[in-house]
Amino acid sequence: MPRMARIESPGSLFHVMAHSVSNTQLFIDDDDRYDFLSRFEKGLKKCEFQCYAWALMDNHYHFLLRTSHLPLHKLMRSLNGGYAGRYNRKYKRRGYLFQNRFKSILCQEQGYVVRLIKYIHLNPLRAGKVNSLEELGNYQWCGHGSLIGSSGALGQNFQNREQALRFFGDNEWGSVSDYLKSMSESCISGDHEIAGILSAIEVTEFTGSCKGLPSVIGDPDFVKRALENYKGYLNRMHRKADYPIVLKRIESKVCEKYSLKSDELKKRGRMDRRTLARADFCYQSHIQELIPLAVIADYLDITIPPVAALVERGSPQAVQRCDSLDYA
């Protein structure tokens, strides 16, 4: 049975989780954790994603991310695949490190992002890694320390502290105070095992994996709109027989835009105008029309890595820059 397509919504908020296979310990020592976070930081910058909350646990991790024009898997495949390869080499093991695919839940921002930040950052407390909120402030392997400004907090280089705190208050000092107050309220029962848990009263979660639909957290209207967009996304997924037709249509539009002949788009060699056109072509084909990289590579008679690079160069920012050029 084919895997369910992920919901893709540029610029949206996602709660991302990945679990190790058979409860294998993902991070044996701090060197593993540093390596993983280094890969994560590089991936965030490359994909232009924003991270608001994160936590590394023994056999899984949590992120709260806002995507860019690129889909979520552009970061996650590289992160999980690269780390798993290094882990297997270091510990002389074979096979999968992560259990199935990473899980991603599309999240409504208004009314939910505050609860999600708290839920993720309170993971170490619930797991007994620390015994109090004060100890959590000095715990290295989650984003809580970065938000409250702890000295040497690791998330300072990649966590969007300013925006994350803005969800709690209007200014930096006030928002830190409001964040700590909100975290304390989540722990007020004294039962660390339930601290920060998202209750059914607070959150409406649609878990659609059993119905062939994606998971969404939000109010009923948000969930309805998300699923309608998802169905539209599925309608854009072309059959294999349609690939040549769609690619030819995109080629015609791009060649007209850049004043190129059809055969020039496929010619080898470096030329600014042709390179920009090929990047635009690859971006539209892969990101907007969901055509696999291998199919695009075959159409252009090149290998997959250059196509992947061209897709990144064809982002809206790059296209906007080239739109200002005169090709006459």
Q: Which CATH superfamily is domain 13-233 in?
A: Transposase IS200-like (3.30.70.1290)
First to last CA, the chain: 51
Strand 103-107 and strand 216-217: the pairing is parallel
Taking the CB of residue 320, how many other CB atoms lie within 10 A of it? Answer: 9
- Token match 């030819």: residue? 248
DSSP 55-114: EE-SSEEEEEEE--SS-THHHHHHHHHHHHHHHHHHTT--S-SB-SSPEEEEE-STTTHH
Looking from the CA of 294 toward its CB, the CA atoms found within 13 Å total: 1
Output 35 or 212, whichever has higher pLDDT: 35
Higher pLDDT, 200 or 176: 176
Q: Residues 236-278: pLDDT tens digits? A: 555 667 888 889 999 999 999 988 887 888 877 666 788 889 9
pLDDT of residue 187: 81
User: What's the whole-model pTM score?
Assistant: 0.71
31 phi and psi angles, rounded to 5 deg: -60, -40
Q: Which of 36-40, 137-141, 189-193 has the lowest mean pLDDT?
A: 189-193
Burial of 294 (C-beta count, 10 Å sphere; 0-12/13-18/19+): exposed
Q: What percent of the chain has pLDDT over 90?
A: 44
| pLDDT tens readout for residues 62-107 | 999 999 988 898 899 999 999 999 999 999 999 999 988 898 888 8
User: Any idea where the domains of the chain sit in the sequence?
Assistant: 13-233, 240-323
Of the spans 14-28, 100-114, 286-300, which averages the highest pLDDT?
Answer: 14-28
Number of H helices, E strands in the chain: 14, 6
The CATH-assigned architecture of domain 240-323 is: Orthogonal Bundle (1.10)
173 burial class (0-12, 13-18, 19+ CB within 10 angstroms)? exposed
Spatial separation of the C-alpha atoms in residues 302 and 250, rounded to whole Å: 18
> Above 80 in pLDDT, residue 302?
yes
What pLDDT is stored for residue 13 in this prediction?
92
Average of per-residue pLDDT across 322-327: 40
Confidence class for position 321, pLDDT limits 50, 70, 90: very low
Q: How confident is the prediction for the chain on average, in pLDDT?
A: 82
What is the secondary structure of 225-241 as a DSSP string?
Answer: HHHHHHHHHHHT---GG
Q: What does the pLDDT read at residue 323? A: 46
